[in-house]
Structure 1
Amino acid sequence: MRTVSAGANSPLAAVFETEEGRVFVKGMPSDSRGVASQAREAAVAPHVAGVAPRLLWHLPDAAGWDLLGFEYVDGRHADYTPGSPDIAATATLLTRIGEIEYPADAPARDVRAAFAAHIDDTADADLLAGTRLLHIDFNPENVLIGPDGPKMVDWAWPCRGAAWINSCVLMVRLIAAGHTPEAAEDCIAEVPAWRSAPPAGVGVFAVASASLWTEIAEQDPQPWKQDMAAAAQAWAQKVLATS
């Protein structure tokens, strides 16, 4: 067994060597409030098998632990810096995720509720509505680049909404990695969901995202959170200036 350092939401994250091969295991105490996120991830898993590591098993109470076992992906985290080939691979992954409907058997989490505190008008929030599955955290550590193509990990916080929102989330990450807002948009220009995104909806999400990341950075001013807040603000300014 070896522990995995990436990720901050699971007390247990480790790779186990078994007779059948390697298994990535994440988990937390069964009495933890966070087990709801593991239940969500388990519910979504069958629907993201083509874009995420396959869930092998879920043990909700194994000696006091809630455990998820995934197929092991021998890969590395994506590089979002300008010029990286991982960006095109991630855009392809984004396109595939955008084709997935939010599972009817998964706990309902609407993106409008997730961003409600940062959107003043209900009618504006409705521009984000949709039926597609959203990851909403394109942190490069959540994208594994491996021999079988890119895979999206950590589906603990899935949302239902408009497919183009995932493109917006990725763009903020690209800007934080060194792209200009214009260059970030160019990186995802061929993603079908982004090409059909309504300008008014994009404007609403851009402002809400800037507000959210500003709040996060003010509450916990770690450098990377400040970088994300600056990136979200830069993109919102660009969107508003061209709308």
Structure 2
Amino acid sequence: MPTTRIDWPDLPAPARALVEEHIGRITAFRTAGAGLNSEVAAVLDTVNGRVFLKGVPLARKTLAACQRREAAVNPFVLAVTPALLWSGEAEGWNLLAFEYVDSRHADYRPGSTDLDGIVEVLNRLHKIAAPDLPEIRRAEQRWSSWDTGDYAELFVGDRLLHTDFAGHNVLIGTDDHAAWMVDWAWATTGAGFIDPACLIIRLIDAGHSAKGAETWARRCDAWAAAEPRAVDAFAEACVRMWNEIAKNGPAVWTRSMARSAHKWAAYRRGMR
């Protein structure tokens, strides 16, 4: 469920002091509106430049673990994501400070000029082998709960996957229009086709037909090596996953994602 966003001054004073000790005195702040999980998400102007700060309470153990995963992965994904400048914990908070990128959120709608850049950043990511880190989960484990056909072994691979292509997790640079992938909370090791597959559902949700969404996926290098039965199995697992998410957190967007997953799976069934 979405968290309640708080402003920079609402952090405990010792936590703010620790942040300033490492990134510089804060001269101005702006609380970000997008995103679901971080209680603190703010653009901070400092005497040393601008940074993006995100934070969650340590009491929210799952979210704190996600942020630790994001911090652990960051050095390996600098080709596609802003650099982590500092991370720390204080006064019951896990905090991450990132290099600021002047950008906007990606537009996934049909006809968007952002789509080429999104494919390009996925192709850059596909070149990155997953590091051997205990924080990173494996795809065959993550989706095994929703794979009733015992096909989870088809999701095995050595690529580093992002897996969460919500529009606010892909940024488009204001000046160069380059795409950047942020929020690595669900970083996973697995077969390369899984990231384009996750993108397909987001594209359908943004108004693409299932066929049209797959056309964009086919432009991703990772898609070429995908076995059709692996893609079919993943589509069916996504239906069950999004059904469960929508049932447990019945928001408008979760129900819409469940419908989009159904559309993709139905399209895959029609191809057999």
Common fold, TM-score beyond 0.5? yes
For 2:259, give the aligned amino acid. A
Query: 1:98 offset after TM fit, Å?
Result: 1.4
Match of 1:139 among 142, 150, 166: 166
Match of 1:86 among 92, 105, 114: 114
User: How does the TM-score come out when normalised to structure 1?
Assistant: 0.95
Match of 1:189 among 218, 229, 237: 218
Query: 1:101 offset after TM fit, Å?
Result: 1.0
CA contact (8 A) 2:157 2:192 kept: yes
- Corresponding residue for 2:157? 130
Count of aligned positions: 241
Task: Supply the distance in 2 between the matched residues of 1:178 and 1:67 (Cα, whole angstroms).
Answer: 35
- Corresponding residue for 2:142? 114
Match of 1:166 among 163, 175, 195: 195
Task: Supply the distance in 1 between the matched residues of 2:266 and 2:101 (Cα, whole angstroms).
Answer: 38
Task: Supply the distance in 2 between the matched residues of 1:57 and 1:106 (Cα, whole angstroms).
Answer: 20
CA contact (8 A) 1:98 1:164 kept: no
Aligned to 1:154, the other structure's residue is in SS state coil
Give me the identity figure in percent: 44
- Corresponding residue for 1:156? 185
CA contact (8 A) 2:69 2:136 kept: no
- Corresponding residue for 1:239? 268
User: How does the TM-score come out when normalised to structure 2?
Assistant: 0.85
CA contact (8 A) 1:44 1:106 kept: no
* Structure 1 segment 203-222 matched on structure 2, within 5 A: 203-222=232-251
- Corresponding residue for 1:26? 54
The reply to whether residue 201 of structure 1 matches residue 222 of structure 2 is: no
Query: 1:31 offset after TM fit, Å?
Result: 4.1
For 1:16, give the aligned amino acid. L
Query: 1:186 offset after TM fit, Å?
Result: 1.1
Aligned to 1:102, the other structure's residue is in SS state coil
Aligned to 2:136, the other structure's residue is in SS state coil
Q: Please tell me the root mean square deviation across aligned C-alpha atoms, in Å.
A: 1.3
Match of 1:73 among 81, 91, 101: 101
Query: 1:64 offset after TM fit, Å?
Result: 3.3
Query: 1:142 offset after TM fit, Å?
Result: 0.3
Unaligned runs of 5+ in 1: none
Say if 1:222 and 1:63 are closer, same or farther in 2 by CA, change over 3 A. Answer: closer
Query: 1:106 offset after TM fit, Å?
Result: 4.7
CA contact (8 A) 1:14 1:25 kept: yes
Unaligned runs of 5+ in 2: 1-28
CA contact (8 A) 1:55 1:68 kept: yes
Query: 1:105 offset after TM fit, Å?
Result: 3.0
Task: Supply the distance in 2 between the matched residues of 1:67 and 1:49 (Cα, whole angstroms).
Answer: 19
- Corresponding residue for 2:209? 180
